[in-house]
Amino acid sequence: MLKFTYNDYLDCVGNKKILKAIKIENKRNQINKNFKQEQYEQNNKIDKIIDKLIEKEAEVANFINDFFKTKDWEINSNTLKRLHIQNKSIIYQYKKREIYFLIKHQKEPNYSITYSILVECTEFIQNWKTTHVKYKQAAIIVPIIIYTGTEKWNKAPNNYIRYTSFKEHGMNLTYNFINLQNYEPINLIKNKSLISSVSLLKMQISKKMKKNIIELLKEKTKYADIYVQIQNIEEMII
């Protein structure tokens, strides 16, 4: 068993090299602590911008077209209608059909997300049935998880909804998982959706590249509230 004795204590308090090393280490820890706090505040502001963008029909339409290649559906701001917020998810309706998009923004891994999605989809369809009694075609929900966290989430991506299955005490519900941290920056910049470009500001890229992205965002955005939030991020990065 290893132990720290009184003699060890005496050796430490009388050794200038050890005291100097402790002082340097304390200073290094404080710098790291300040950096982590600053990074947390910055990422939190970036996530708030993404949340605001997800509330805008045009941005969600661009996002869906960017990642799901749905040009045949002609999804745009005129065909998407934001319905309501349900359990931190935003639900959109595709106007031409009874198709609904359940958009959920995740900032950190959530391995119980399957159960949350199941509950939300079930609740939505139950409510839908009460107001669409005469509809012959049942509602279809497309759950989309947008992940912008910096921590690795061990979830294999699924490109389309297949089925829900139950195994022993677990459940496997397939949903659309978009981990923006897995995409190359150049590809995200090319996307029409501002959500993709904003997510880049959370990545481990150079300060110069972040400044260029911010300038691009200020040019592309047409929303006054988003422009102000981008300016706030710019001040933190500079």
Q: What is the pLDDT of residues 58-110, one digit of tens each?
A: 999 999 999 987 666 788 888 899 987 766 789 999 887 788 999 999 999 98
Q: Strand, coil or helix: what is 147?
A: strand
What pLDDT score was predicted for residue 148?
Answer: 93
pLDDT digits (tens, 9 = 90+) for 18-47: 777 777 777 777 777 665 667 778 888 899
Bridge partners of 81, per DSSP, are 93
| Maximal CA-CA distance, the chain | 86
Q: How far apart are CA 41 and CA 46, in angstroms?
A: 9
Position with higher pLDDT, 123 vs 38: 123
Q: Which tokens in the block code for residue 100?
A: 């609904």
